[in-house]
Amino acid sequence: MTIPLKNERNDILGVMQIINARDCSGHIISFDDDDMLYVNHFAGMASMIIQKAQMTRALLLRMIQMAEMRDPKETGAHVNRVASYSVEMYELWAKHKGLPDNEIQANRDILRMAAMLHDIGKVAISDLILKKPARFSKEEFDIIKTHTWQGAKIFMESQSGLDEAARAVALSHHENWDGTGYPGRVDIATGEILEKDLKGNPIPLRGEEIPLFGRITAIADVYDALSSKRVYKESWDENEVYREIRSLSGKKFDPELVDVFFECLDVIKSIREKYPETEE
């Protein structure tokens, strides 16, 4: 028995197929009208679930496109590369940890979208700063830093695991393993500092206080930024990028994840070739 899965516009989203109806003795029999009634009911439910998933994905992709329009560095190729690098690193890390396959697969999908949204908070930054074709002043950089909690604020009302992951990645992908990153311990609703050091600056997160997805995305983002040409810099030589990543192990990056990065480097290189910049 084969039933099309349709949305309210009668577009076909997929197909549900049920095979081998059996009687109480286990013998294969024909489907009857009651079976058709039940299967149609479940097909309708499946159609709604698929449609909601498609709508959610489409909305997130539009958010990413909006960020791309605001920030010339946030190209579609860049966010796809960062997301793909992050997923490959997570999967290898998770396998080393012995996580079950169903958990790995679920987290892959969540991390991919969360990593694509890592800089979504830049929509709150002025164009005068965001599109400046030169290095930022200290004051400008302080404003740029707010994109972390501004992005997390978008996902403050958590409705799903994706909301939680996107909030964590947006907030923590500039935190450093050695506790020298930003934004530190701030209220994502207001940007107010929650815990200050002696100079009045927010106390950063360090080590495993930084969420795993944030630690992974940090390496993926820096690798892609160093490897890419920007209006204010040329792309780095490949070996220079690798030396820089290794030199930041235990400082900016989780050392265990740096090892994972280099362990899956061949796959990461192939991802970079898959998503080239349209203009280099």
Q: Which residues are catalytic?
A: 122
- Residue 264 CB-density burial (10 A; 0-12 exposed, 13-18 middle, 19+ buried): middle
Distance CA 129, CA 136 (A): 8
Would you say 218 and 252 are in contact if contact means Cβ atoms under 8 Å apart?
yes
Neighbours of 211 (CB within 10 A): 19
Distance CA 184, CA 210 (A): 10
Our CA angle for 90, 238, 266, nearest 5°, is 40
- Residue 232 CB-density burial (10 A; 0-12 exposed, 13-18 middle, 19+ buried): exposed
- Which element (helix H / strand E) includes 265? helix 265-274
Count of residues making up the chain: 280
Neighbours of 89 (CB within 10 A): 25
Would you say 225 and 251 are in contact if contact means Cβ atoms under 8 Å apart?
no
